[in-house]
Structure 1
């Protein structure tokens, strides 16, 4: 996995530089996400590994309809270097670069039940204040938390769940 990230990093940086230069960050994000989903499919992955697949056919397979011509050239470069299998890693690294450039923090709020919009807005405002950046919040439901929520933003985990509190209490009593 770390080797794949090492190989994918220069391609992600090149894609980001091209997108930034042309002002097409969002279009590149969508195109890379599409290509990554296609390349990650097991049937497509085996096809991409076939040496008889022409580079132009690989580009046509991985390119979404209406993609920018720079993106098609990028896919052709990947095909020429036999690096199409790195598309999921390239897309993830590109997303990180874009988030950093746009000063966005991605956060996940996992709660025992679906949170009302007002609570999500309050959490988003608190995270925006804490990080000094815009926050892109996604939600998940995990009934095992019993109550409360766990917020994950980058390397930071804020565990305000009842399950977490019970676990910490148990650890404190056992010590």
Structure 2
């Protein structure tokens, strides 16, 4: 695990605790997502370490318009600790904590072409049976897969793509 995630972990846990206490997981997800997206923009990322950037200006830059007081204070703590650049990692770890608390597995299905709804429903049902939890699916298209799909559900990756099968066949023939 990278050092950035190690540094971000206590902040993500603190954000999760605040969201749980407020009963607003979705609001914190949206606010952290906005701040992480802003912080990962190259122009903003270049500004954040600048000592001439006032803490209030940094918070105003990263906070979404309807940000709550606790989220603004959270950004203030990050600014004081010079940790605003870690917002993308904090947001990612927060989403993992939220999914665990809500008993949800987030899966990404990448296929060579857009999958019909019926196939996505079948994949979702199979994953729900395998994990014993509710499943949220995000889809993507990667034409280089040639055919089939790759399912990434956290620690489990299922490569059913033609590209993956050809790579395994090539490896088997080489050895």
TM-score by length of 1: 0.92
Q: Aligned with 1:150: secondary structure? A: strand
Displacement of 1:46 in angstroms is 2.2
Distance in 1 of aligned mates of 2:136 and 2:123 = 11
**TM-aligned CA distance change 1:41 to 1:118, over 3 Å:** same
Which position in structure 2 is the counterpart of 1:9? 9
Displacement of 1:2 in angstroms is 2.0
Displacement of 1:174 in angstroms is 4.6
Which position in structure 2 is the counterpart of 1:148? 148
Which position in structure 2 is the counterpart of 1:74? 74
Structure 1: gaps spanning 5 or more residues: none
Displacement of 1:173 in angstroms is 4.4
Q: Does 1:99 align with 2:99?
A: yes
Distance in 2 of aligned mates of 1:44 and 1:168 = 42
Distance in 2 of aligned mates of 1:105 and 1:135 = 5
**TM-aligned CA distance change 1:146 to 1:53, over 3 Å:** closer
Which position in structure 2 is the counterpart of 1:110? 110
Number of residue pairs the alignment of both structures matches: 175
Structure 2: gaps spanning 5 or more residues: none
